[in-house]
Amino acid sequence: MMPDTRTLDSLAADLDAGRTSARALVDECLARIDDKNGEGQRTFIHVDSEGAIAAAEAMDKLRKANAAPSRFAGIPISIKDLFDIKGQVSRAGSLALRDASPATADAPVVARLRRAGFVLIGRTNMVEFAYSGLGLNPHYGTPKSPWQRDVGHVPGGSSSGAAVSVTDGMAHGALGTDTGGSCRIPAAYCGIVGFKPSAWRIPLDGGVPLSFTLDSYGPLARSVACCVTLDAVHADEPIAPVTPRPVKGMRLAVPTTVALDDLERAVVEAFERALSKLSAQGAIIERIAMPEFDAVGTLNAKGGFSSAEAWAWHRALIAKKANEYDPRVIVRIRRGESQSAADYVDLLNDRRAIIAGFEERIAPYDALVMPTVAITPPRIADLVDDDAAYGKANILSLRNCSLINTMDGCAISLPIHREGDAPVGLMLAGAGGSDRRIFELAAGIESLVRS
């Protein structure tokens, strides 16, 4: 299947000009989901065909009456399985929640998407309880990355189905989450764009948490502009086109600490090629030490925030349904059981100090630039029954992205590989609150680094 390259802007233009309709877009997405030769059965945990068709027909009538809630009304998007959608069960990719009561209301971020007229096509598959960067799910299957699909490579996690729904045209944008890279890793492994916003900008209500300290809700889509649009809706901000920054004069810092360790050769080649292109166009690139990144390993030595906060949320459920958890997930959650209250207080204090040092160090620069992921997507078959291989690949998948969550920052991943090559992502990152600047920088370099 050829990748779907339509953007939210191009689809909105087609809807406005009458070249397509919301119903036609939904029918097309549903057909791709139902394709027996495709990834639909592994990409979606629940498909709301009836609801999507009804919403699409409503948006077509509103558009005909010049009353569409936004120019994007009627465009189908997917929702990660951990968000509440009224009347549906939020399983979070697990069997342990399959008999939970249906949600009585939409999560705020879902309600905002619906209010803008986006059509919710279905709930996407994910790593159980969002606790891995690879994308494997033993309960509902693992959707394959579009790269060498006949071989079968991981899609990245935890928003695995979110990314594949976009690459395969089963949705035209996706709502995901990012606690340690769960929007950016699948974006990098599937060759699309993923954005992790400043966590405080978007309410976390109505979502199954992994770590309420590190969680953030973000978009996966086909372009920077698509992510800008979805992010504005998520944050309940006006939808405004981003102005690309000129590459000439950009001040970009490459952190040499941790982020460049143990890179796969294909990642090194793509990353250095992207840096060369940026430098040739006048970007000022400096390689700097980042001791705060070294401190993250010590911070997480006992499991960090994720295991402590996940254990607090899961302990009652585990007491009843431990046998229904993915063993690779529950073992990570249980690490939080051994953390003391004093350990947790130390985490909070140490993180504040690390963030302060990080923000002071990067202040002279427009952004940090580094590989999104240290490796290219591993083969699914190599990880299913090999815990050691799984553990190593998971650490290398999460490492770079999780640094930014720990620093309370924001970041975007852009595809930089050549067509046909293994997918590689380039991450631009900044301190918390610099979301708009990161979007402007990304928009300025997007076409350059993709070529």
Mind telling me the catalytic residues? 80, 158, 182
Report d(CA 3, CA 14) in Å as an integer. Answer: 19
DSSP string computed for 262-297:
T--HHHHHHHHHHHHHHHHTT-EEEEE--HHHHHHH
Q: Which two tokens stand for residue 107?
A: 């999560």
| HSE-up (13 A, CA, CB side) for residue 210 | 32
Helical ranges in 322-340 per DSSP H: 327-333
Give the pairing of strands 193-196 and 410-415: antiparallel
Nearest to 5 by CA among 371, 427, 450, 369: 450
312-316-321-327 Cα dihedral, nearest 10 degrees: 20
Cis peptide bond prior to 158, omega within 30° of 0 = yes
Radius of gyration for the chain, computed over Cα atoms and rounded to the nearest angstrom: 21
Nearest to 86 by CA among 70, 101, 68: 101
Report d(CA 362, CA 356) in Å as an integer. Answer: 10
Q: Which two tokens stand for residue 446?
A: 């997007």
Report d(CA 417, CA 419) in Å as an integer. Answer: 6
Report d(CA 196, CA 180) in Å as an integer. Answer: 9
Q: Is the separation of the CB atoms in 129 and 310 below 8 Å?
A: yes
Report d(CA 210, CA 308) in Å as an integer. Answer: 10
Task: Please list, in sequence order, all residues whose beta carbon lies within 8 angstroms of the beta carbon of residue 210, skipping any fewer than 6 positions away.
Answer: 129, 130, 131, 177, 179, 306, 309, 310
